[in-house]
Amino acid sequence: MSRRSGACLRVCLVIFAVVSALGVCGPAIYWKFKKDMRLRGNSSSKSCPPCACDCPPPLSLLKIAPGLSNLSISDCGSSDPELKQEMEKHFLDLLAEELKLQEAVSQEHSRHMNITFAEAKRVASQYQKEAEKCNAATEICEEARERAEALLRKERKVTLMWEKRARQVGWEGE
């Protein structure tokens, strides 16, 4: 059943890939083919008449939003005091701060690992105690079974002895 579904999935993926490729490339191929057919069908070498456009020149960004020319990168964030303070720090101060942050993260990670390790030790100790209890109970059961087997053997011997005496006296059994 899994081979069949795998094969079906492959076929669906191939069909999807072909349809996607045709969807992406199809219109471009169609228009190129249509243009080639138009050029072949128009055997006389007539050229297009010149375009008579009287289009206005494209608008520049400065004409659309004249306020953008006054902005500069140097005053970026000058109104935010926290950002200004951060930008004024020296490179060494930034490195020292980064090292402090990394140290804090590593200490937190170490503390978390220590807690996890202590918890694992506690659980392992608990399982060890449970295993010792099970082993002790198993030993007690084994000793009791051995005593019961010894008593059973003793009872069988006594039973055989009494049965032998009874047969000697004339008892014929069941």
Within-domain flag for 79: no
What average pLDDT does the structure give for the chain?
Answer: 83
Task: Please indicate, yes or no, if residue 93 is contained in any of the structural domains.
Answer: no
The predicted structure's pLDDT at residue 158:
96
pLDDT, tens digit, 9 for 90 and up, residues 6-63: 888 889 999 999 999 888 888 888 888 888 777 666 555 556 667 777 777 776 766 6
Q: Which residues contact 7 (CB under 8 A, 6 or more apart)?
A: none
Query: Does a structural domain hold residue 51?
Result: no
Look up the pTM and report it.
0.35
Q: Domain for residue 131, yes or no?
A: yes
Q: What's the domain range around 125?
A: 109-167
Residue 20 resides in a domain: no
Does residue 56 belong to any structural domain of this protein?
no
Q: How far is CA 131 from the centre of its chain?
A: 35
Rounded mean pLDDT, 92-118: 93
* CA 28 – CA 137 distance, rounded (Å): 83
- In a domain? residue 122: yes
Count of the separate structural domains present in the chain: 1
User: Could you tell me if residue 147 is inside a domain?
Assistant: yes
Residue 169 Ramachandran class (φ > 0 left, ψ -120 to 50 alpha, else beta):
alpha
